[in-house]
Chains A and B, each alone.
Chain A
Amino acid sequence: VSENPPPGESSPPTGSRYTETLENWFRTRAGGLVVPIIATLFAFLVGGLVVAATGHNPLASYKAIFEGTGLNPFSYLNEDERRGAWFDLQQTLIVFTPLVLTALAVAFAFRCGMFNIGGQGQYFVGFYASLVIGTHLEGLSTFPHVVLAMVCAILAGAVWGGIAGILKASVGAHEVITTIMLNWVAIYAGQWLFELGGPLQGDQESIPKSNAIFESAHLPHVPFATGLQPLHVGVFIAVAALVVYTILLNRTTLGFEVRAVGFNPEAARYSGISVGRNYFLALAIAGAFAGLAGSLDNLGWKFTIATNDIQTSTVGFIGIAVALLGRNRAVGIFFAALLFAALSVGTSSRQLDADVFPPELAGNLSTLIQALIILFVATELLVVSIWQQRKRIGLGRAKPAGAEA
């Protein structure tokens, strides 16, 4: 039992109004920042314990992972290393791009009160749709070809998300179960499309893989892009999507209705908002974001898909962690996506020194860290109580909130 009253109940009118507002602002803003940051630190701490328990040095491992992300400015010692870091940074940003969009797919549904686990399936159908357009329509010039592929991917993702939305709106089927089932349908359907003898298998008869998309369907590179896997302009599209997300949610009638339904469906219904329609629209729009992610990966750097890629991709699931860590806000998602992209690039076998930490373990370590971040972010109460403990151990202001009263 805490002897301090909760913050909302005690606001003694002391001090100038200005400092009070400032304090309130800081408390609410800092609360939104503090929880994710503490959650992240906690997750890395527990992850480090697992690394140590299995006989590796956690500090050296984390350092090695960080060095591989291209985000470490202190490693720029000479021209060569700078070039290496730019190369790593491009990889991080290539991974960052779809993560932003799959996170938006989760976040948008979340603001409507739904948990969309179907980002993975929606990403895949977007990928397949853009692949069909990219491997057909030869002779189209770049701009219409790319745009058409992206539009089809967005529509495909919207349909895949919309199915779950319709089921929720019409018969109340829980979106967690339906989107998971749709994920597996998309995964196995994809395996079938590109397997040996499958309808979309490429010209090489012995490889279960699609044809590569035409040159005209490739996304252009950003300026100064280098290397075998140069950064494509999709990264700007992802950042633009963050802006679209914020505007759509906060500046349109649709966004208002979606948030109203998410806040309290019963109240929304009484005020004349069609709850079912908003469930459908929110999941369809969420699916559209994820479908766009699939097309950017395809048109930007993958250009083809093999059945193996379908089994191993987890971009939709990481998107959930990104959205939760980013608190469903555009700025939060931006930084969370950067963190997770860095984590997955840093732990990839190409980047990580196998003597320090075996890369085949590292992938699973990053899954574990993501899981812990989700768990700790979901448990605000735990993090907040730890944050309040800092007063007792003398880290923050020692004065209890109700002391003046």
Chain B
Amino acid sequence: VTAERLLDPRRIAIAGIACGILAFWIALPPFTVRAIGVPFVFGFLGLGAGLWAVTRGQRKLGLWAIGLSIAGVAAGIWAQSRTTDSLDAVVSAGLVAATLRFATPLAFAAIGGLFSERSGVVNIGLEGMMLVGAFFGIYVAAETGSWPLGILGAMVAGALLASIHAIFTITFLADQIVSGFAMNLIALGITGYLFRSIYGTEGTPADIPRIPSITMPEWFRDIPFVGDVFGDLSFMTWLVFALTVAAWLVLFKTPLGLRLRSVGEHPRAADAVGIPVKRFRYGAVITSGALAALGGAYLSFGFGGSFNENMTNGRGYIALAAVIFGKWTPFGALGACLLFGFGFALAIPLQGEADISANLLSTLPYVLTLVALVGVIGRSRPPAAVGRPYVTQ
């Protein structure tokens, strides 16, 4: 029995994928293996495992193993041809920290989108909700001189925009995607209009209170690598970690979460057992707006220190892709956001070291999102009632 389990094609394929990744990884710091045979060995192992799996019914995973093994060998050999110093500059604690920074706003929006989708309402308005969060957050922070009030302002603005989406999609049964798209345009128009009207051509003031970083004690920061990554992270990054755990607890460990999920899976059945479907959907959509706005607030006065028109640059849509990629679970969504954040973060050192155009590298997170969607989507199942308005009988 154990041999059978060990030789399960699915496991073999996953091992093959791991080998393909290892073929590249061992050539990077901190390992920096410089023997040309090593990536080949791992690559061949991965390739073999992939072929084995493909011939035994695990076509998709097996093909991934084959593709990753070939790519891993090529990338490993390329990395071996670089000096250790230049690799150190690319692959470093700084890269991991940057990944976390870029993933934070995405993760806020993704967790928000998760609540909305689990309740059965598609919210492509996340983008706009991030944008109003970014603008009204920095506006309130600048007016009151207090960053917590700024965060509160952002959440209120995001929740208000989300409640418009909720009214139109839940009560008036408007098409959820069209309404969400309209939310994005409204956000673009409102924030652009007020930004020009309030700040003119000068832009937001330079002395706004920023969301602080949390500096760890001295001994923690001295731990190699871990200290460099986690020693000085933004308050918002820690908050999003906590939020992910909280979202998982609420969605999967409480009666409230069970009801919310049942509303998204089978609203009629939920209604029949007395769950107020529309009220749950309102709650979930408004929550998603407030959370997405937190991500926007981080963009405008946490990570950077200013607001620009349309500064979210499609991040709301990437967050939505992260929800899908993460199979509608909080940790999956966080993982997907880290992957897409890595796409943003990788552009910075590559630009310096490999001398590739910044603009060309900016396509990386978007291409990565596309590739991720292609790789995963056949195997992930959305909440059954997502996108369908519910009419009370």
B177 touches A176 (CB 8 A): yes
- CA–CA, A181 to B370, complex, Å? 7
B178 touches A378 (CB 8 A): yes
- Asked, given contacts A188-B359, A371-B189, whether A171 binds B178 with beta carbons under 8 Å apart, the answer is no
A317 interfacial contact with B, CB 8 Å: yes
Closest residue of chain A to B382 (Cβ to Cβ) is A174
- CA–CA, A198 to B357, complex, Å? 8
B320 interfacial contact with A, CB 8 Å: yes
- CA–CA, A358 to B357, complex, Å? 37
Question: Which of B31-39, B210-218, B360-368 lies at the binding interface?
Answer: B360-368
A375 interfacial contact with B, CB 8 Å: yes
Chain A residues with Cβ under 8 A from B164's Cβ?
A: 375
- CA–CA, A378 to B179, complex, Å? 7
A375 touches B168 (CB 8 A): yes
Chain B residues with Cβ under 8 A from A197's Cβ?
A: 357
Shortest beta-carbon distance, A172 to chain B, in Å?
Answer: 6
B193 touches A365 (CB 8 A): yes
- CA–CA, A171 to B324, complex, Å? 13
B363 touches A185 (CB 8 A): yes
B186 touches A372 (CB 8 A): yes
- Asked, given contacts A185-B366, A361-B196, A365-B193, whether A317 binds B324 with beta carbons under 8 Å apart, the answer is no
A177 touches B173 (CB 8 A): no
A287-323 residues at the B interface, CB under 8 angstroms: 317, 320-321
- Asked, given contacts A173-B377, A177-B317, A184-B314, whether A115 binds B193 with beta carbons under 8 Å apart, the answer is no
Chain B residues with Cβ under 8 A from A370's Cβ?
A: 185, 189
B313 interfacial contact with A, CB 8 Å: yes
- Asked, given contacts A195-B357, A367-B188, whether A372 binds B196 with beta carbons under 8 Å apart, the answer is no
Query: How does the 8 Å CB contact mask read for A94-134 relative to B, with 1 for contact and 0 for none?
Result: 00000000000000000000010100000000000000000
A382 interfacial contact with B, CB 8 Å: yes
Shortest beta-carbon distance, A134 to chain B, in Å?
Answer: 22
Chain A residues with Cβ under 8 A from B181's Cβ?
A: 115, 117, 320, 374
Among B182, B192, B193, B373, the residue within 8 A (CB) of A177 is B373
- CA–CA, A369 to B177, complex, Å? 18
- CA–CA, A174 to B386, complex, Å? 13
- CA–CA, A87 to B197, complex, Å? 30
B377 touches A178 (CB 8 A): no
A371 touches B185 (CB 8 A): yes
Among A174, A180, A191, the residue within 8 A (CB) of B324 is A174
A138 interfacial contact with B, CB 8 Å: no
B363 touches A378 (CB 8 A): no
- Asked, given contacts A177-B324, A364-B196, A365-B193, whether A188 binds B377 with beta carbons under 8 Å apart, the answer is no
Query: How does the 8 Å CB contact mask read for B179-210 relative to A, with 1 for contact and 0 for none?
Result: 10111111011101110110001000000000
Closest residue of chain B to A117 (Cβ to Cβ) is B181
A178-237 residues at the B interface, CB under 8 angstroms: 178, 180-185, 188-189, 191-192, 195, 197-198
Closest residue of chain B to A375 (Cβ to Cβ) is B182
Closest residue of chain B to A208 (Cβ to Cβ) is B359
Chain B residues with Cβ under 8 A from A368's Cβ?
A: 185-186, 189-190, 193
A185 touches B367 (CB 8 A): yes
A192 touches B317 (CB 8 A): no
- Asked, given contacts A184-B366, A192-B360, whether A378 binds B175 with beta carbons under 8 Å apart, the answer is yes
- CA–CA, A50 to B359, complex, Å? 36
B377 touches A171 (CB 8 A): yes
A253 interfacial contact with B, CB 8 Å: no
A115 touches B190 (CB 8 A): no
The number of chain B residues touching the other chain, given as a range, is 35 or more
- CA–CA, A188 to B178, complex, Å? 26
B320 touches A177 (CB 8 A): yes
B321 interfacial contact with A, CB 8 Å: yes
Among A117, A174, A184, A361, the residue within 8 A (CB) of B193 is A361
Shortest beta-carbon distance, A260 to chain B, in Å?
Answer: 20
Among B186, B363, B366, the residue within 8 A (CB) of A371 is B186
B116 interfacial contact with A, CB 8 Å: no
A360 interfacial contact with B, CB 8 Å: yes
- Asked, given contacts A367-B188, A374-B182, A375-B186, whether A181 binds B378 with beta carbons under 8 Å apart, the answer is no
Chain B residues with Cβ under 8 A from A380's Cβ?
A: 174
Query: How does the 8 Å CB contact mask read for A376-397 relative to B, with 1 for contact and 0 for none?
Result: 0011111000000000000000
A54 interfacial contact with B, CB 8 Å: yes
- CA–CA, A183 to B188, complex, Å? 17
B192 touches A364 (CB 8 A): yes
B185 touches A317 (CB 8 A): yes
- CA–CA, A375 to B161, complex, Å? 13
A356 interfacial contact with B, CB 8 Å: no
Shortest beta-carbon distance, B134 to chain A, in Å?
Answer: 15
- CA–CA, A320 to B181, complex, Å? 10
Shortest beta-carbon distance, B35 to chain A, in Å?
Answer: 36
- CA–CA, A180 to B184, complex, Å? 13
B1 interfacial contact with A, CB 8 Å: no
A180 touches B185 (CB 8 A): no
B3 interfacial contact with A, CB 8 Å: no
B358-393 residues at the A interface, CB under 8 angstroms: 359-360, 362-363, 366-367, 369-370, 373-374, 377-378
- Asked, given contacts A371-B185, A379-B168, whether A195 binds B373 with beta carbons under 8 Å apart, the answer is no
Chain B residues with Cβ under 8 A from A365's Cβ?
A: 189, 193
B101-141 residues at the A interface, CB under 8 angstroms: 124
- CA–CA, A274 to B99, complex, Å? 42
B193 touches A189 (CB 8 A): no
B172 interfacial contact with A, CB 8 Å: yes
- CA–CA, A317 to B314, complex, Å? 13
Chain A residues with Cβ under 8 A from B314's Cβ?
A: 180-181, 183-184
- CA–CA, A358 to B363, complex, Å? 35
Chain B residues with Cβ under 8 A from A184's Cβ?
A: 313-314, 363, 366
A89 interfacial contact with B, CB 8 Å: no
Closest residue of chain A to B168 (Cβ to Cβ) is A379
Chain A residues with Cβ under 8 A from B373's Cβ?
A: 167, 171, 173-174, 177-178
Closest residue of chain A to B60 (Cβ to Cβ) is A171
Closest residue of chain B to A194 (Cβ to Cβ) is B359
A261 interfacial contact with B, CB 8 Å: no
| Given A172-B377, A177-B369, A360-B201, 5 additional A-B pairs, CB 8 A | A177-B324, A181-B314, A181-B318, A375-B164, A378-B175
| 6 A-B residue pairings within 8 Å (CB atoms) | A177-B321, A189-B359, A191-B362, A364-B188, A365-B189, A374-B185
